[in-house]
Amino acid sequence: MIPKKVKVAFEGVNRLYTYFDDQYDLAPEDVVYVEGKMWKKPGQVREVSEANEFDRDRYNRILKKIIFEVHGTYYSYGPYVFCFDQEAIPFEQFRSWVSPPDRELNVEHEIGFDLLLEELGYCDFASEEALRYGLHCFQEEQVEFLSLIDGRGQALIKDGARHTVTFNYDGKTVRNMICRTDMDRFCEHDIGTCLTLRTLLHIFQNEFADYYEKGRFTAVNRNIFYRIVAYSLKKITL
């Protein structure tokens, strides 16, 4: 694509910042994350013009365009909306709605924790403190996103900062569960994810049995979902 110079507005800031972009075909009103001191805040594109040969080194870059399009059929139940379709909101798209891109390389951790989901309270590697805070995480609905796609699970938990939990699940056993910000112990975010997963699976089995058999779902915090849908240009079914 032709490199562009992009002027971006940020909430609460009475000026436009200029950035270099050679990744996205941006237009006014697009929402982006950027390099530099404004990296934590999403900004809205106001002006786009063709860049010259010096702009690449002169300006910070556009890091990510936030995609607000939502596809699939969603069902509302309790604090979540669920989608069982293949085109449901992917984890990385949801994370871009609520937090900036990772600034550091995400190093994969080879060994996580394995447990029977229905025997969470009996696993010997969960401390009493982690169980207590994990129950609080579950009760306060801090798990904002949880998906299980072809046996691979991903969750995003808001506990002050946001924490990513990954795992595998075969219908009985949770394997290789890791909280990416606390990889060396079975922490409260892992436990909150397990409790939420167990609860959602029970709901699906009782209320959405036809879809539960597919072994695929995406659950999104209802309040965040409805707020984001306001930006979506795609019609969805509720």
Task: Dump pLDDT digits (tens) for 196-224.
Answer: 999 999 999 999 988 877 789 999 999 99
pLDDT confidence of residue 143: 98
pLDDT confidence of residue 119: 86
pLDDT confidence of residue 106: 52
Task: Write out residues in the chain with pLDDT < 70, as ranges.
Answer: 103-110, 231-238
Torsion sign over Cα 73, 138, 226, 96: negative
Q: What is the 3-state secondary structure (H, E, C) of 163-220?
A: EEEEEEECCCEEEEEEECCCCCCCCHHHHHHHHHHHHHHHHHHHHCHHHHCCCCEEEE
Query: Which residue's entry shows tokens 């006014």?
Result: 28
Element (H, E) at 226: helix 222-229
Q: Give the residue extent of every domain in the chain.
A: 4-65, 74-229
Mean pLDDT for the chain overall: 90
Identify any residues that bridge with 50 across adjacent strands, giving them in sequence order. 4
pLDDT confidence of residue 174: 95
Token pair listed for 222: 């209802």
CB 29 within 8 A of CB 68: no
Identify any residues that bridge with 80 across adjacent strands, giving them in sequence order. 77, 221
